[in-house]
Amino acid sequence: MIHQVVCVNLPVDERMCVRKVRLMPEGPGASAERMRRICVVTGTHGDELEGQYVCFELSRRLRAHPELLTGIVDIYPALNPLGIDSITRGVPGFDLDMNRIFPGSEDGVLAEYAAAEIIRDIEGADVCIDVHASNIFLREIPQVRVSETTAKALLPYAKELNCDFIWVHASATVLESTLAHTLNSRGVPTLVVEMGVGMRITQAYGDQLLSGIFRLMHRLGIWAGEPDEVRAPIVSTDGKVAFLNAPTLGMFVPHAPHWEHVARGETIGEIINPLSGEGTPIVSPCDGLLFTLREYPLVYEGSLLARVLAKEEVRA
């Protein structure tokens, strides 16, 4: 059943509405108060579309086997519907990043009011999965990002999600105005998933995450179906991740494949100058796994080109 989470009037007789679909067992004795609940949210940034496929396929599979559903699944495909409609990262017309205004305010402007209502609607859930994509510039392997302060509570859930990598961030880098931080601080275990490329849908990544979502739902007692086996993720911290930034302006041409081992000193790509015919090699500073790789060719000095997970961190 489709529910309206929040609806706000816009100019010219239009409305901005955030909606969710709730799937739960039906029939005598079915009571939402006695069931466990998982929320899957995406579309906070309008240029991140990987989660759209995840929401569609999750809903389709649940509807195909309603007899296996033993709890509540709330699916929120577009927390920022104006951004999704216009393929704009933030909220169009307000110059706001939707993921920088939580927990919002009931007395605030459009986006702040919507944020407050979204939090109110999700509160009380047993787990929330916040699905993001990368931007148009970078390709990311499926990964879960958690902060040091929440890692102990979230890692058991994160390991069920069938992602390749769990990145435990230093607490100082976590913004308090994000959806995940707000929900975690209010007792809703919330996992941030990053994968793919902005403005694209990578079905293989979506299917990989879906296997993990069903396995987590099975663990929570929300899904009675037999879950798939999931891969053992690599768990790492900020201290063992090397960032490669562009030393000059030009076009970046990758040489190394994404999510493969690279050696210290190995050339992972080259910044080329089409006018002079000269190139600047970009080499890995360590042995490790190339888990982030530049997708958009044009780079400026300082542009992020890649991230490499140091070899000593490659462990389950």
pLDDT tens, position by position, 175-219: 889 999 999 999 999 999 999 999 999 999 999 999 999 999 999
Please tell me the pTM assigned to this model.
0.94
Return the pLDDT at 316.
Answer: 45
Question: In Å, how far from its chain's centre is CA 42?
Answer: 7
From the list 236, 161, 220, the residue with the least C-alpha distance to 188 is 220
Return the pLDDT at 173.
Answer: 62
Return the pLDDT at 117.
Answer: 98
Pairing outcome for strands 165-169 and 138-147: parallel
Return the pLDDT at 29.
Answer: 65
Beta strand ranges found along 52-122 (DSSP E): 72-76
Helix (H, G, I), strand (E, B) or coil at 264: coil
Kindly give, in sequence order, each residue whose CB lies less than 8 Å from that of residue 180, ignoring residues fewer than 6 positions away: 128, 130, 190, 191, 192
Give the count of beta carbons closer than 10 Å to the beta carbon of residue 42: 26
- CA pair distance 163, 231, nearest whole angstrom: 7
Return the pLDDT at 27.
Answer: 75
- CA pair distance 69, 124, nearest whole angstrom: 19
Low-confidence ranges of the chain (pLDDT < 50): 316
Q: What angle do CA 127, 129, 135 make, to 5 degrees?
A: 160
